[in-house]
Structure 1
Amino acid sequence: MSRDVERYPLRNTTLSAEDDALWNWAQNARVGSRQRLHQPRSEAELQQLLRNTQGRVRVVGSRLSPGRMLCVDEEAVLVDISALSGLLAQDSDSITVGAGTTLNDVYIQLTAMDRMLAASPGVIAVQKLAGAMATGTHGQGLHQSSLADEALRIRMVLADGSVREFTRGEPDFPATQVTLGALGIVTAVTLRTQPFRIYTCHKNAVSADNLEQDLLRWNQEYALSKAWWFVDDNLMHVWNANEASEQENAEWQRNGREVVKHTDQGDDSLNSTIDQTLEQMHRDTQIHGKGGKQFRTVTRFRDFTDVTGDIYQLFCRGIAVPQINVEIGVPLSRTPAVISKIKRWYAAEKPHMHYPIILRCTGASDAWLSPAYGEPTCFFGFVVYYADDGSLSQDGLHFLTEVEKLLAEEGGRPHWGKYYDASRYAWRDLYPHWDDFRALRSELDPQRRFSNDYLTALFD
């Protein structure tokens, strides 16, 4: 197997309903056999399953992660915790939910209570809460960090079937916030909440000439900020949101608590850039016609309508399309220099751009294995979509390889739930508590029941 195919696997497009194999969501990795999949209906059933079985165990969740995180040997036990879901408890400042609850259902429950999380949502809401936390899922905005940073208590079934609850403030708690599934099976999480807020999001197209300074300014001036960088044309599509005014909030309430669209600014300055991007994507994916989901992710950049709504209505708008997604977090203090470095590299090499670079910044994380641990971080995101036949643009993959190399050299930390080349990172140098995490793993799972080849390569 070539290194590229191992790192960026091709997609299987010939699966049938009779196939016993369980694949990850993108269908680019076989996870295991459906016959080995267990769906415990309660925490007690999960405990009994672990006591009655031997060998390795892996939770599969929504299977959105790269296959290497999920794959186990043929005799391993696969666990789906979807039944361990729903609202378990609530008080004025927190909710406790089953770990198998989807993020979408968490948001629905909170909205009904007129509460919200401080953490801005990731764009895809079908993720299970436990999986999103375990991989360091984050949104955008320097006043918050990853979803895992909103946890107050994490309840976990350990390898021997016992239950342990970890509480914020305890020495080991930061290890349990982002675990990659290496410590145990999370069954319930208590999340802190705050009063519900409404935001107005302003959309603009601007030059990237001063991106080094503009990105920092946007994130300082706005509660939430997200930007797409079309490096080819030195242009940006930017979303900046602050809390809505009383008038905007009242208008949202009168609209049945649905998104309010304000007057479209009618900006056509990105039209030629968008057309060029669509043509490149058509060539790369060999897909004809413009109705595909991947093309809708680009055509939305023509829309400059300011909108008012809740944080989930505005930012949890991802279109789930099979893709190779690389995202690297760089310390915010280094971000201006990294942006300048990308500009110089692009000017010299003119690499093939499959999709604009996505820029999202967050505050520092407390979680030991969070890519934003200890300092505010800017996440640089890169996407290459699959063709209909399951192949990938070689030019697009070359771009991913080279830009990851550039960011890794600048102290970047990859998003655990996306694709990356592990050989580029010195984990102990990047994560000050790396050995502390390994020690806790040895204590909680001495026989490595929750390990697989991926985790063994990382920690052992």
Structure 2
Amino acid sequence: MKRRKFLKGTGIVLGATAIGGLAGLNVINSKISENLDSSLLLKESNKWSNWSGGQVCEPSSFFIPKNEQDLINKLKTTSNKFRVVGGGHSFSPVVPTNDILSSLKNLNKIISIDKNAKEVTVQSGIPLSDLTPQLHKNGLAFLNQGDIDKQTLGGAVSTSTHGTGKDLQSFAGFVKKFKLIIANGEILNCSSEENSEIFYGGTVALGSLGIVTEYTVQLTDTYKLEEKVYPADLNETLDNFWNLVEENRNFEIFPFFYSDQVVVKTLNKTSKNITKVEQPFLSDDFLLALGLTLSGDSGSRTDKVQNLISGLIDSTSKINDSYKIYPSVRNVKFNEMEYQIPKEKGIACVREILKTGQKLKVPIFFPLEIRVVKQDDFWMSPFYKRDVMSISVHQFADKEYNKYFPIFHEIFKRYEGRPHWGKLSYYDREGIKKLYPKYDDFVKLRNELDPKKRFSNDYINKIFG
């Protein structure tokens, strides 16, 4: 939710006064921090941390290859386990390792652009925020994006990161082919025509089959989007949810645990002129940090603050090029769980999550995030062979989440929820196996390509054996 003036003058003043004047403002600002460069170790430390600080490890070495051949040489001359980090925006323990941790930050170049086919071949280590402006200059754009663009292309694809839209797939769905380097240093070119089993099994594989260094991705012509954000009645919106999905290219909602108001966000293509957006007096990050600070660890206080804020939400709209509309600035750190629920079960699941949170008086100020994603054919994709409703639960990075997230997990589990691979979940191997029809085929493929499990860590072993 971006650029909304959802707290106005008196609310801000009262809130800042309530937590102690200038001292209170310092507390608020301490919750806002710039994005961490996850391609480096923490300063004055041999440790690595993800963006939220929820995943930390101390690798035996940190390797940044100069180029693809440098990476191949490293694989051939060592026998260590090997994990790769992208933008560090995964909340799950998909990255941490005590062995070699590698960043592909130098593999960040566009190899070629085919404007007729609307395809780009690009190295996997490029951040989306660097790639999209370059694509725009060449008259091309992604069909869809999520609301964060700090991930690398490789990280976004391998975890099946997504945006929202009934006709729109995740980043994995845009992939036409990729180059995979396996444990012995061999290069495999994979597409639906060449090494097709590896293509469908390895596009979404969490880096467990090898290291992808290059993708060819399907794009589209550049386009503009009109974003509209507005408050609405929660129950009416849930009752009418799928009609609203049909009426909008991109549709998502943000329900609060303790409010009967919901924030609705729509994106639709437009030929209208780009609009000038006035910068608010206080940033959304500041306002979010204010709400988090006022709520504290009390469910009853969170109830009051959420109702205050939801009652002050304004309707806003803006128009810009797609790659500028999709991403949000996210400097208030949080941890997140997200599950993909079969479309027909989604609304019931949302209602139960909200009801349970209210009953438990959870001190979660963040709203839920509800999106929709089109199915694909990748074996370990959360969207394999089914259209879904995506439901996310967030908690501020410095607050306890393990008291409540496992309870929500059990609800998601009853609704056959598949976890987002880059976000927190509580499934073990047997739980994952029940959710993925091609699970055994994937495990067999992994055993063939990486028999010594060089590309594993504790999390990979937990879910794939």
Q: TM-score range by the shorter chain?
A: 0.7 to 0.9
In structure 1, the residue matched to 2:236 is 210
Q: Secondary structure at the match of 2:202?
A: helix
Question: Conserved in 2, the CA contact under 8 Å of 1:31 and 1:67?
Answer: no
Task: Give the distance between the partners of 2:288 and 2:105, measured in 1 at CA.
Answer: 42
Residue of structure 2 aligned with 1:166, choices 169, 176, 190: 190
Question: Conserved in 2, the CA contact under 8 Å of 1:149 and 1:177?
Answer: no
In structure 2, the residue matched to 1:107 is 132
CA deviation profile, 1:188-234 (whole Å, cap 9, x unmatched): 00001111111112222110113333221221111011210023111
Question: Conserved in 2, the CA contact under 8 Å of 1:285 and 1:385?
Answer: no
Residue ranges of structure 2 left out of the alignment (5+ in a row): 1-40, 281-285, 299-305
The amino acid of 2:383's aligned partner reads A
Label 1:228 to 1:281 Cα distance change in 2 as closer, same or farther (>3 A). Answer: farther
Residue of structure 2 aligned with 1:284, choices 281, 284, 296: 296
Label 1:424 to 1:406 Cα distance change in 2 as closer, same or farther (>3 A). Answer: farther
Give me the identity figure in percent. Answer: 24
Q: State whether structure 2 residue 167 is matched by structure 1 residue 143.
A: yes
Label 1:422 to 1:32 Cα distance change in 2 as closer, same or farther (>3 A). Answer: same
Task: Give the distance between the partners of 1:138 and 1:66, measured in 2 at CA.
Answer: 15
The amino acid of 1:214's aligned partner reads N
Residue of structure 2 aligned with 1:72, choices 97, 100, 108: 97
Q: Secondary structure at the match of 1:356?
A: coil
Residue of structure 2 aligned with 1:86, choices 109, 112, 130: 109
Q: State whether structure 2 residue 213 is matched by structure 1 residue 187.
A: yes
In structure 2, the residue matched to 1:305 is 316
In structure 2, the residue matched to 1:234 is 260
Task: Give the distance between the partners of 2:391 and 2:370, measured in 1 at CA.
Answer: 5
The amino acid of 2:418's aligned partner reads R
Q: Secondary structure at the match of 1:220?
A: helix
Pairs within 5 Å for 1:389-404: 392-393=399-400, 397-404=402-409
Question: Conserved in 1, the CA contact under 8 Å of 2:342 and 2:386?
Answer: yes
Label 1:89 to 1:228 Cα distance change in 2 as closer, same or farther (>3 A). Answer: same
Question: Conserved in 1, the CA contact under 8 Å of 2:52 and 2:335?
Answer: no
Task: Give the distance between the partners of 1:36 and 1:175, measured in 2 at CA.
Answer: 29
Label 1:114 to 1:344 Cα distance change in 2 as closer, same or farther (>3 A). Answer: same
The amino acid of 1:100's aligned partner reads G
How far did residue 343 of structure 1 move?
5.0
Question: Conserved in 1, the CA contact under 8 Å of 2:76 and 2:185?
Answer: yes
Question: Conserved in 2, the CA contact under 8 Å of 1:219 and 1:225?
Answer: yes
Task: Give the distance between the partners of 2:326 and 2:430, measured in 1 at CA.
Answer: 31
Q: State whether structure 2 residue 335 is matched by structure 1 residue 324.
A: yes
CA deviation profile, 1:115-172 (whole Å, cap 9, x unmatched): 1122x21222121111111111101111111101100011111100010011134233
Please, what TM-score do these two structures have when normalized by structure 1? 0.82
How far did residue 372 of structure 1 move?
1.6
In structure 2, the residue matched to 1:458 is 463
Task: Give the distance between the partners of 1:236 and 1:47, measured in 2 at CA.
Answer: 50
Task: Give the distance between the partners of 1:424 and 1:232, measured in 2 at CA.
Answer: 35
Residue ranges of structure 1 left out of the alignment (5+ in a row): 1-14, 253-258, 265-273, 287-294
Question: Conserved in 2, the CA contact under 8 Å of 1:140 and 1:361?
Answer: yes
In structure 1, the residue matched to 2:180 is 156
The amino acid of 2:211's aligned partner reads I
How far did residue 16 of structure 1 move?
7.1
The amino acid of 2:353's aligned partner reads I
In structure 2, the residue matched to 1:55 is 80
Question: Conserved in 2, the CA contact under 8 Å of 1:277 and 1:354?
Answer: no
Task: Give the distance between the partners of 1:21 and 1:146, measured in 2 at CA.
Answer: 31
How far did residue 280 of structure 1 move?
5.3
How far did residue 66 of structure 1 move?
3.4
Residue of structure 1 aligned with 2:432, choices 427, 431, 436: 427
Residue of structure 1 aligned with 2:412, choices 396, 407, 412: 407
Label 1:404 to 1:101 Cα distance change in 2 as closer, same or farther (>3 A). Answer: same
In structure 2, the residue matched to 1:10 is none
The amino acid of 1:59's aligned partner reads V
How far did residue 299 of structure 1 move?
9.6
Q: Secondary structure at the match of 2:147?
A: coil
How far did residue 63 of structure 1 move?
2.4
In structure 2, the residue matched to 1:41 is 66
How far did residue 279 of structure 1 move?
4.4
Deviates more, 1:415-424 or 1:106-115: 415-424
CA deviation profile, 1:237-272 (whole Å, cap 9, x unmatched): 11112111x3x1xx22xxxxxx5459x9xxxxxxxx
In structure 2, the residue matched to 1:199 is 225
CA deviation profile, 1:35-86 (whole Å, cap 9, x unmatched): 611111111111111000012111122222236212223xx22221111111
Question: Conserved in 1, the CA contact under 8 Å of 2:161 and 2:170?
Answer: yes
Q: State whether structure 2 residue 45 is matched by structure 1 residue 19.
A: yes
Task: Give the distance between the partners of 1:66 and 1:112, measured in 2 at CA.
Answer: 32
Deviates more, 1:45-54 or 1:306-315: 306-315
In structure 2, the residue matched to 1:116 is 141
Label 1:201 to 1:26 Cα distance change in 2 as closer, same or farther (>3 A). Answer: closer
Task: Give the distance between the partners of 1:318 and 1:219, measured in 2 at CA.
Answer: 25
Aligned residues: 406
Q: Secondary structure at the match of 1:189?
A: strand
Please, what TM-score do these two structures have when normalized by structure 2? 0.81
Task: Give the distance between the partners of 1:27 and 1:300, measured in 2 at CA.
Answer: 32
The amino acid of 1:376's aligned partner reads D
Task: Give the distance between the partners of 2:322 and 2:176, measured in 1 at CA.
Answer: 21
In structure 1, the residue matched to 2:20 is none
Q: State whether structure 2 residue 256 is matched by structure 1 residue 221.
A: no
Q: Secondary structure at the match of 1:333?
A: helix
